[in-house]
Amino acid sequence: MSLIISNNLNSLMVQTNLSANQSQLSTAMQRLSSGLRINSAADDAAGLAIATNLNAQANGDGQAIQNANSANSLAQIADGALANITNDLQTLNTLAVESANGTNSASNRAALQTQASALIADIQHISSTTNYNGVNLLDGSFKSAFQIGATAGQTIGLSIANSQTAVLGSGQGNGVAAQGSSTAIAAGDLVINGVAVGASLASSDTASYTNASSSAIAKVAAINAVSSQTGVTASVNANVAQGSAMTAGGGASVTGVLTLNGVAITLTTVTNNTSATRQAEVSAINAVSGQTGVTATDTGSDTTGVTLSAADGRNISVVAGAATLTAALTGIGLAATSTTQVNTYGSYNLSSNNGGAITIASGTGTLSDSGLQAGTYQPNTASVASTTLAVATSASTASGTAAGLSSGDLVINSVAIGATTASSDNLSYSNNASSSIAIAAAINAVSSSTGVTATVNANTISGTTAGSTSGHTGTLMINGVNTALITTGSTATNTANNIIAAVNNIASRTGVTASLNAAGNGVNLTAADGRNISLALSTASQTLTNADLGMTTNVNATVGDMNTTYGTYTLTSGSTIKVGSNTLNGQANAGLAEGSYGGTASGEALSNLDISTVSGANAAITAIGNALNTVNAIRANIGAFENRMSATVTNLQSTQTNLISASTGITGADFAATTAELSRAQVIQQAGIAVLSQANAQSQQVLTLLR
C-alpha cells in the first residue's frame, strides 16, 4: 500500500459524504419541525406551484362561503319584510271585503278607509326602508350578483321587484309596451334580458293582409320563441287606426270603394251630414268585419272621425279606390292622395314570467325596429316609450321657437294633457316647447288625474360612417356653441376620433357628449338629460360636410341651417295606459300612437285604493289580490335563491375540504418516513465522523517511517 501525504483522499471522500448527509439531516429536521415536505421552491418547484394554486382556491372558496352566507342573510331580511307586507295585505283585504258589505254606512266605510290608509302607509314604509348594509332591497332598485366561487364569473344574481304601494296592486300582466313599427325585427335588433331575439317572420302572421313580418303578431311570435330563456312573455294589443278630421258641415254625397285589408267596401257619404256619414260607414265596414278582422267606431266628433280597430292586433291596411273618397269627407284615416295605401301596425306588451325586471337593449341591429326603447323596466308596471319626433330644420342657427303640444293633442286615460311651454325646459337651446322635457312636464302636471308619470330618456344620435378623405376642415355648432376646428383624417375612425375630441371639449357648455359608434367608424352624440340636440355647420368657408360627420339626417347640408333632434320619454303607471288625441296630433307632436299600452289585467296601485265606497272596495279586492300574487312571486324568487345559497354553501364546504386535503397531501411531511430518514442520517453522521477521524490519522503513519 502506498503512503502519500500530499492529498488525503480518504479524508476528502469522507468529508464529501458527511456534507451530503448533513444536508439530508437538515432537510429531515426542517420537515419534522415545520410539518411540511415543501419548505422552499427547491424542495419541489412543481409541487409548490400546484399547492399554492390549491390553497388560493381553498381560501377563495372560504370567502365565497362567507359571501353566500351574507347573500342568504340579505335574502332572509327581504323575505321577512315581505312576510310583514303579506300580513298587512291580508288585513287590508279583510277591510275591503268588510267595506263592500251593504250593512255599512258612509261613516263606517270612512273609518275603514282610515285603517286601510294606515296599512298602506306601513307597506310603503317597509318597502322603502328595508335594507341590508345600507342597500335598499324592496324599492325596485336592488339587482346584484354575488361572488360564490374562487374564480371570476362564478356568480349568482338576484333582483327583487318593486314592492312599493305605487306598484303593488296593478295588473299582473302589466309590463313594457312597444309601439307599432312598420319595420320587421331583424336578427340582432332586440335583446331581452341578455338574450337575442330572432327575426320576425311573415309566416308567423296569417291574419295580416300586408307586411305581415312587421306586424305585432309576428314580433310577438319571435319574442315568445325565446321566452323560456328571457323569462318574458309578449302579448298582442288591439291595433287602432285613428280617424281623420272631417270637413265642417260635410260636403256633397260621393260614392267610392274603400279597400280594407284587401276587402272592397262600397261607401256613400251623406250630403252635408257628417254624423250620418260616419254611421253609414261604420255599418258598411262592420258588415264585413268577419272578412277584414277590423271593426269601425264612430267617435261622435267631426274632429276625430271614424276609428278602425283590429282586436287580434293584425295590421290595418286601408286605401280608397278613387280620389272621390277623401279623409275629410269620410273621417277615415286615408292618405292625402286617397289612393295611396295607409298601413297601421299594432303594439304589443312584454310581461315578466317570474316577477323580475325586464331589460331591453339593442344588439347588432336597430332597436327601434321593435318599437321598444332601451332600459330596465320593473315588472307589473305598465310603461311605454314615445317614438322620436321628426327632426326639425331652422333656416338659421338662431334658437327656434316651435309650438310643441297644444291642449288636447295628447289624451291619457281620458284626461287631456295641457299645452307644453318653453319655460318647462331650460336646458334645450332650440324648440324647447317641443322637447321631451317639456312634454314630460305637461304630462306630469296632471299625473294625479291620470295615474301616469313621464320620465325623460337620454337623447341619442347614432352616427354612420364618418368621412375618410383627409383635409376637410370646419366647425360644428352644437346647441349654440361652436367646436374647435375639426379636420377629417385618412380613415373614418381617425375622423370620428377628431370629431369626438372636439365635441367633448365643449360638452360642459352643450350638455352633449360624443363617443364612437358600435362599428367604430362613426360618432354617437348623447344628451343624458334628454335635452334637444341642435346641430349646424357653422362656418361659411368650411369644407367639412354633414357626410364627413356621418350625420346627414341630423346635420343640415346647408351651412348655417340648424337641425334639431328631439329625445324621447317613457310613461309608467300601475295600470293600463290609454292614449288618445282630441286633435289627432298625438303621434305627430307627442310620439304616442292611439291605443292601450302596458296592461293586460285589471287592478290599480295600492296607493290609489279607496274603500270608502262599495265600488272602491270591490276594486280594492281585485288590487289586493294582485298585490298578494306579486308579493308571493317575489318571495318565491327569493326563496329559490335562499335554497340555492344553502346548497352552494354545502358544496363549497365540501370543495374547500377536499382542496385543503389535496394541498396537504402535496406539501405535508410524512412523519414516519421523515423520522426514519432522520435516524438514518444521524447514524451515518456519527459513523462518518468516526471514519473521518481514522482517515485523518492515516497521515500519522508516515511519521513511523521517519523515526
Q: What is the pLDDT of residue 381?
A: 79
Report the percentage of the chain scoring pLDDT > 70.
95
pLDDT category at 534 given cuts 50, 70, 90 is: very high
Residue 240: closest CA among 319, 311, 326: 311
| pLDDT in the model for residue 354 | 73
Please classify residue 248 by burial: count the beta carbons closer than 10 Å to its beta carbon, then call 0-12 exposed, 13-18 middle and 19+ buried: exposed
Return d(Cα 612, Cα 392) in angstroms, integer. 50
**Could you give phi then psi for residue 608, rounded to 5 degrees?**
-100, 0
At 300 the pLDDT is 93
- Return d(Cα 434, Cα 277) in angstroms, integer: 36
Tell which phi-psi region holds residue 68, choosing left (phi > 0), alpha (psi between -120 and 50) or beta.
alpha
One-letter amino acid identity for 436? S
What's the rounded Cα separation, in Å, for the pair 186 and 82? 41
Q: Is the pLDDT of residue 212 over 70?
A: yes
CB 334 within 8 A of CB 327: yes
Which pLDDT value is given to residue 172? 60
pLDDT at 10 over 70: yes
Q: Are the beta carbons of 433 and 422 closer than 8 angstroms?
A: yes
What's at 100, amino acid-wise?
Answer: A
- Residue 439, C-alpha cell as written in the block: 312634454
- pLDDT for 273 beyond 70: yes
Among residues 160, 77, 153, 149, which one has the least CA distance to residue 649? Answer: 149
3-class state of residue 21 by DSSP: helix
Res 211 pLDDT > 70: yes
Q: Is the dihedral of CA 27, 31, 32, 34 positive or negative?
A: positive
Question: Where does the pLDDT of residue 5 fall: very low under 50, low under 70, confident under 90, or very high at 90 and above?
Answer: low
CA-based torsion, 406, 412, 415, 420: positive or negative: negative
**C-alpha angle 323-279-319 in degrees, rounded to nearest 5:** 30
Collapsing DSSP states into helix, strand and coil, what is residue 31? helix
| Amino acid found at 336 | A
CATH fold of 240-344 reads Alpha-Beta Plaits (3.30.70)
Other C-beta atoms lying within 10 Å of the C-beta of residue 232 = 27
Q: How far apart are CA 175 and CA 352, in angstroms?
A: 7
CB-CB contact of 18 with 689 (8 Å): yes
Asked if 586 contacts 409 with a C-beta cutoff of 8 angstroms, the reply is yes
Name the residue among 160, 159, 162, 77 with its Cα closest to residue 128. Answer: 162
Rounded CA gap, 460 and 303, in Å? 35
Confidence of residue 23 (pLDDT cuts 50, 70, 90): confident
Q: What is the pLDDT of residues 451-469, one digit of tens each?
A: 889 999 999 999 999 999 9
Span 569-590, average pLDDT: 90
Alpha-carbon span 277 to 306, nearest angstrom = 10
* Cβ(599)–Cβ(572) below 8 Å: no
- What is the band of 299 on the pLDDT scale with cuts at 50, 70, 90? very high
Residues of the chain with pLDDT > 90, as a percent, come to 58
CB–CB of 14/690 below 8 Å?
A: no
Higher pLDDT, 354 or 479: 479
- Region 598-606: mean pLDDT is 72
Q: Which residue has the higher pLDDT, 647 or 169?
A: 647
Range from 21-25, 367-371, 402-406, 557-561 carrying the lowest mean pLDDT: 21-25
- One-letter amino acid of 466: A
Fold (CATH) for 460-565: Alpha-Beta Plaits (3.30.70)
3-state secondary structure of 86: helix
Return the top range by mean pLDDT from 54-58, 524-528, 659-663. 524-528
CA–CA separation, 182 and 139 (whole Å): 37
Name the grid cell of 343.
Answer: 298601413
Q: Write down the pLDDT at residue 557.
A: 93
Topology given in CATH for the domain delimited by 48-167+610-661: f41 fragment of flagellin, N-terminal domain (1.20.1330)
* Distance from C-alpha of 505 to C-alpha of 513, rounded to nearest angstrom: 9
pLDDT given at position 2 = 57
**Most confident of the following: 100-104, 146-150, 671-675, 676-680:** 100-104
How many Å apart are CA 344 and CA 333, to the nearest integer? 10
Q: Give the least confident one: 55-69, 152-166, 477-491, 666-680.
A: 666-680
- Asked if 382-457+568-597 and 460-565 have one fold, the answer is yes
| Cα gap 280→268, rounded to integer Å | 8
Q: What CATH code would you report for 176-237+348-377?
A: 3.30.70.2120
Chain-centroid distance of CA 367 in Å reads 12
Burial of 553: CB neighbours in 10 Å, binned 0-12, 13-18, 19+: middle
pLDDT of residue 237: 92
Residue spans per domain, the chain: 9-35+669-706, 48-167+610-661, 176-237+348-377, 240-344, 382-457+568-597, 460-565
Position 374: which residue type?
A: A
Q: Where are the beta strands (DSSP E) in 62-168?
A: 131-132, 135-136, 143-147, 155-159
Q: pLDDT tier at 36 (50, 70, 90 boundaries)?
A: confident
Name the more confident of 349 and 364: 349
Residue 658 pLDDT grade (very low, low, confident, very high; cuts 50, 70, 90): confident
Cell numbers for 526, please give them: 348623447
For strands 176-178 and 382-385, give the pairing.
parallel
377-387 tens-digit pLDDT: 877 778 999 99
Residue with cell 298602506: 120
Q: List the beta bridge partners of residue 318.
A: 260, 342
Which three three-digit cell numbers place residue 421? Answer: 311651454
CA distances from 675 to 29, 33, 35 (A): 9, 11, 11
Where residue 393 falls among pLDDT bands split at 50, 70, 90? Answer: confident
Q: Which of 567, 576, 579, 303 is nearest to 443 (CA)?
A: 579
The residue to which cell 357626410 is assigned: 547
Question: How far apart, in whole angstroms, are the C-alpha atoms of residue 481 and residue 538?
Answer: 10
CA-CA-CA-CA torsion sign (454, 460, 461, 462): negative
pLDDT on residue 171: 64
Query: In this predicted structure, what is the pLDDT of residue 365?
Result: 85
Beta-carbon count within 10 A of 257 CB: 14
Tens of pLDDT along 489-518?
A: 999 999 999 999 999 999 999 999 999 998
Cell numbers describing residue 319: 286605401
Query: Is residue 287 over pLDDT 70?
Result: yes
Residues 397-445 have pLDDT tens digits of: 777 767 789 999 999 999 999 999 999 999 999 999 999 999 999 999 9
Decide if 471 contacts 487 (C-beta within 8 A): yes
* 3-class DSSP assignment, residue 25: helix
pLDDT category of residue 50 using cuts at 50, 70 and 90: confident
What are the tens digits of pLDDT across the range 248-261?
888 889 999 999 99
pLDDT at 602: 65
| The predicted structure's pLDDT at residue 4 | 59
Closest CA to 466 of 493, 501, 490, 485: 493
Q: What are the pLDDT digits (tens) for 70-86?
A: 999 999 999 999 999 99
The CATH T-level fold of domain 382-457+568-597 is Alpha-Beta Plaits (3.30.70)
Residue 518 is placed in which grid cell?
A: 358600435
> How many other C-beta atoms can be found within 10 angstroms of the C-beta atom of residue 684?
17
